């Protein structure tokens, strides 16, 4: 018995050596291209002698004797997170009658990204086919031949690549890179494009939808259309579809805003976030009842300097459009009716508030100008033949300050009661007008509106913060230089302070940019001293910036080459509320400019100069005086 067992083992070994396959129990049925470790169903097994027992039954063309002698393997299972694979014998020419299958298997909740970096194949007859699944029986993602360069993304964790050639011309083949990426879901992400796959409606045309697009983002033609546009009267809010969630593709919305006869519309955008493509997604504001009216302004992702608009008539039209790719969270905006500028107006600065109301308007409501007062009843108006006017310091008359969405807002109320005897009244004839000055960006917008029991009218106006910039002789910043022009020596230390004209500890001033120029209009040869809150010249030293109502820095005097010996200085400053923790003032120096609409600020531009370098004769005269 022992002798017979030894004969059986010897026969098995000889059989294996002669036929080139092992006696492993693995089968190549449905597994061509796989390597099981103990045996293989990939074409290199013929070279290495480790083919599974039925390899020649299922994985080769028996009419062709294929022998792989050098180069890359033909097929296999790829499970590493990234890597490369090649056509057989790459970079040499691939053989005729090749048939290789690679199966890429990513981890759970991952997808496969495949890039063909180099392709050189016979165009007519040799192909690479990429399938969206674990076998070639799944849907075809695409084919590659000739010299095409292509990329493919799977919708699941599987991808299959089949390379086949005929019996004629060959080329160098291909080189491909793969990587596994986290699988993206369209849940809560409708309208987004992840580069690997898309949750926008256009993915249906390009064939790159994420795996669950039809579960979350596909709407049948009968699906309800979100509220979009409409006609509105007097005051209220408008917003993009689904706000504050992402708006949908191909939106087309028109809002027609109307004020009472003889009044205008004031519109203010509070939040704004559109796709980063100005000709794709945008908002147009028209001064009239239709989109054929005069265009007041266009808003898109990088054109948001002016977020407030006022019509010249009783109508204002707003158009919102989005294209088929890429979305944002959209916008919301407040609108209100406003009295004609000749009927009532308010002007604001960092020091004063001025309110003017036409006497004839008060007369039409049955009120005398003597009856008007502010929240502080001691604050009374004056008058001429046409207007009743309040003119008072901004920090007086019970004026309040608040911060809303990053904007600094000052508020007060104009009140009146019809004259009558006695100390009290139960008559509903009281007049109330709310006054608001919104300080923002390069201007401040003031609004006045009356309580509903009197009128639905509003008044809008503009104002500015007042700021100054001066040179000082020392870092104590005690007394400003009053000499004009300021004559200095080359390399002399120059001390600069920028401040609000009215000291207000609740406001912060931040120097964002300071540039020097030999010309007062700063049209040419500007030189950065401070940029984005950071010192750019090596001699700049910033003492204080962004934490008080003033800012201070120093630098050394210089002159521009090939020009006269005078220098002008211009600074852009930002004014923020001290309790606005997201403000530009709080961010300080940042070397890369960032776009942010999370907080709005008031900005000012100040210019000072010229600084003139002293001549040699002035230095000599100074020395004699000192002696």
How many independent structural domains does the chain possess? 4
Q: Are residues 444 and 489 in the same domain?
A: no
pLDDT at 444 over 50: no
How far apart CA 414 and CA 503 sit, in angstroms, is: 26
Q: What is the mean pLDDT of the chain?
A: 77
Does 315 map to a domain? yes
10 by DSSP, 3-state: which? helix
Q: Which of 313, 339, 365 is the last residue of a domain?
A: 339
Distance in angstroms (rounded) separating the CA atoms of residues 315 and 310: 10
**303 shares a domain with 399:** no
d(Cα 211, Cα 206) in Å, to the nearest integer? 14
Question: For residue 10, what are its two tokens?
Answer: 């010897």
Count other Cβ atoms within 10 Å, centred on residue 35.
19
106 in a structural domain: no
- Report the C-alpha gap between 342 and 385 in whole angstroms: 14
Could you read off the pLDDT of 517-547 as tens digits, one per residue?
887 777 777 888 998 889 988 999 999 998 9
The strand pair at 486-488 and 602-613 is best described as parallel
Q: Within this chain, do residues 479 and 377 fall inside the same structural domain, yes or no? A: no
Of residues 510 and 623, more confidently modeled: 510
pLDDT digits (tens, 9 = 90+) for 581-595: 777 888 888 764 443
CA distance 531 to 511: 9
Residue at 155 is within a domain = no
Residue 222 is predicted with a pLDDT of 38
Pairing of the two strands 458-464 and 443-450: antiparallel
407 is a domain residue: yes
Measure CA 452 to chain center.
39
Rounded distance, CA 50 to CA 39, Å?
5
Please identify, among 60, 81, 107, the residue that sits at the C-terminal boundary of a domain: 60
| Nearest in space to 265 (alpha carbons), one of 246, 287, 284 | 287
- The C-alpha atoms of residue 543 and residue 148 are separated, in whole angstroms, by 61
CATH of the domain at 276: 2.60.120.290
- Give the mean model confidence (pLDDT) for residues 186-206: 72
- Verify that 352 and 330 share a domain, yes or no: no
Query: What's the chain's length in residues?
Result: 627
Could you tell me if 531 and 540 are in contact, meaning their C-beta atoms sit under 8 angstroms apart? no
pLDDT value of position 153: 83
Around Cβ 349, how many Cβ atoms within 10 Å? 18
Q: Do residues 372 and 510 share a domain?
A: no
Q: What is the DSSP letter of 371?
A: G
User: Is 424 within a domain?
Assistant: no
Quick one: pLDDT at residue 101? 93
Distance of CA 248 to the CA centre of its chain: 18
Specify if 246 maps to a domain.
Answer: yes
User: pTM value?
Assistant: 0.43
Sign of CA dihedral 255, 310, 313, 265: positive
Distances (CA, A) of 230 to 1, 274, 320: 97, 21, 12
* Residue 190 within any structural domain of the chain: no
* Rounded-to-5 percentages of helix, strand, coil across the chain: 10, 40, 50
Pair (453, 357) in one structural domain: yes
Which of these three, 339, 374, 401, is where a domain ends? 339
Domain limits for position 290: 230-339
| 316 lies in the same domain as 443 | no
473 & 391 share domain: no
Q: What is the pLDDT of residues 109-159, one digit of tens each?
A: 788 889 998 999 988 889 899 998 888 888 888 889 888 888 888 878 899
In the numeric block, which tokens belong to residue 275? 């796709």
Residues whose CB falls within 8 Å of the CB of residue 361, separated by 6 or more in sequence, listed in order: 339, 343, 344
**523: domain CATH number?**
2.60.40.4100
Element (H, E) at 272: strand 263-273
- Cα separation of 79 and 106, whole Å? 6
Of 213-222, 422-431, 532-541, give the range with the top mean pLDDT: 532-541
Verify that 332 and 356 share a domain, yes or no: no
Rg over CA atoms, the chain = 38
- Of the candidate ranges 185-199, 462-476, 600-614, the one whose mean pLDDT is the lowest: 600-614
* DSSP structural state of residue 490: T
Sole residue written with tokens 């089968």:
27
Q: What is the mean pLDDT of residues 423-428?
A: 45
Given a contact cutoff of 8 angstroms between Cβ atoms, the answer to whether 574 and 549 are in contact is no
518 & 449 share domain? no
pLDDT-derived band at 88 (thresholds 50, 70, 90) equals: very high
Q: How far apart are CA 154 and CA 521, in angstroms?
A: 58
- The CATH number given to whatever domain includes residue 393 is 2.60.40.3210
Residues 257 and 364 in one domain: no
132-135: long-range contacts (C-beta < 8 A, 24 or more apart)? 132/156, 132/158, 132/159, 133/158, 133/159, 133/160, 134/103, 134/105, 134/158, 134/160, 135/30, 135/103, 135/160
Q: Is 578 part of any domain?
A: yes
Asked if residue 533 and residue 451 are part of one domain, the reply reads no
């Amino acid at each position: 018995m022992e002798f017979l067992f030894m004969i059986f083992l010897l026969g098995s070994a000889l059989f294996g050596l002669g036929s080139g396959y092992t006696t492993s129990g693995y089968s190549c049925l449905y597994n061509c291209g796989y390597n099981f470790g103990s045996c293989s169903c990939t074409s290199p097994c013929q070279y290495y002698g480790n083919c599974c027992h039925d390899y020649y039954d299922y994985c080769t063309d028996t009419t062709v004797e294929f022998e792989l002698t050098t180069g890359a393997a033909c097929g296999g299972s790829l499970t590493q997170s990234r890597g490369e694979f090649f056509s057989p014998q790459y970079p040499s020419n691939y053989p005729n009658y090749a048939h290789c299958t690679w199966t890429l298997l990513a981890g759970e909740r991952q997808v496969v990204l495949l890039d063909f970096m180099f392709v050189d194949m016979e165009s007519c007859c040799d192909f690479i086919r990429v399938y969206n699944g674990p076998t070639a029986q799944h849907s075809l993602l695409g084919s590659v031949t000739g010299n095409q360069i292509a990329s493919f993304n799977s919708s699941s964790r599987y991808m299959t690549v089949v390379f086949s050639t005929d019996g004629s011309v060959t080329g160098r083949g291909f080189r491909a890179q793969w990587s596994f990426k986290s699988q993206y879901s369209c849940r809560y992400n409708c309208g987004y494009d992840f580069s690997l796959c898309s949750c926008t409606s256009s993915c249906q045309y390009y064939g790159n939808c994420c795996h669950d697009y039809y579960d979350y983002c596909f709407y049948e033609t009968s699906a309800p259309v979100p509220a979009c546009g409409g006609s509105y009267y007097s005051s209220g809010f408008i917003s993009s579809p689904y706000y504050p969630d992402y708006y949908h593709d191909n939106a087309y919305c028109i809002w027609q805003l109307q004020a009472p006869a003889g009044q205008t519309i004031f519109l203010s955008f509070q939040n704004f976030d559109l796709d980063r493509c100005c000709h794709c997604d945008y908002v147009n504001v028209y001064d009239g009842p239709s989109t054929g009216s005069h265009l007041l302004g266009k808003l898109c992702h990088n054109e948001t300097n002016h977020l407030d608009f006022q019509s010249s008539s009783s109508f204002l039209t707003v158009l919102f459009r989005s294209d088929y790719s890429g979305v944002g969270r959209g916008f919301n905006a407040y609108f209100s009716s406003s009295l004609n500028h000749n009927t009532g107006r308010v002007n604001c600065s960092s020091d004063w508030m001025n309110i003017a109301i036409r006497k004839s308007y008060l007369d039409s409501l049955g009120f005398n100008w003597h009856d008007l007062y502010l929240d502080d009843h001691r604050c009374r108006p004056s008058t001429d033949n046409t207007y009743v006017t309040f003119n008072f310091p901004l920090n007086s008359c019970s004026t309040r300050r608040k911060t809303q969405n990053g904007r600094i807002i000052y508020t007060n109320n104009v009140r009146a009661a019809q004259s009558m005897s006695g100390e009290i009244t139960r008559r509903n004839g009281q007049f109330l007008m709310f006054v608001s000055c919104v300080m923002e960006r390069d201007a401040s917008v003031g609004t006045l509106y009356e309580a509903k029991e009197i009128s639905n009218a509003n008044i809008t106006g503009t104002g500015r913060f007042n700021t100054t910039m001066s040179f000082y002789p020392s870092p104590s910043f005690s007394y400003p230089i009053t000499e004009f022009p300021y004559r200095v020596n080359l390399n002399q230390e120059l001390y600069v302070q920028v401040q609000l004209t009215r000291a207000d500890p609740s406001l912060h001033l931040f120097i964002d940019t300071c540039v020097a120029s030999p010309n007062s209009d700063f049209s040419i040869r500007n030189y950065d001293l401070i940029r984005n809150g950071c010192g750019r010249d090596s001699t700049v030293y910033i003492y204080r910036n962004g934490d008080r109502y003033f800012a201070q820095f120093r630098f050394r005097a210089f002159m521009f080459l090939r020009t006269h010996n005078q220098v002008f200085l211009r600074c852009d400053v930002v004014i923020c509320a001290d309790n606005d923790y997201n403000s530009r003032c709080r961010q300080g120096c940042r070397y890369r400019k960032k776009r942010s609409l999370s907080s709005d600020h008031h900005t000012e531009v100040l210019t000072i100069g010229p600084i003139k370098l002293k001549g040699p004769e002035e230095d000599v005269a100074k020395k004699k005086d000192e002696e």
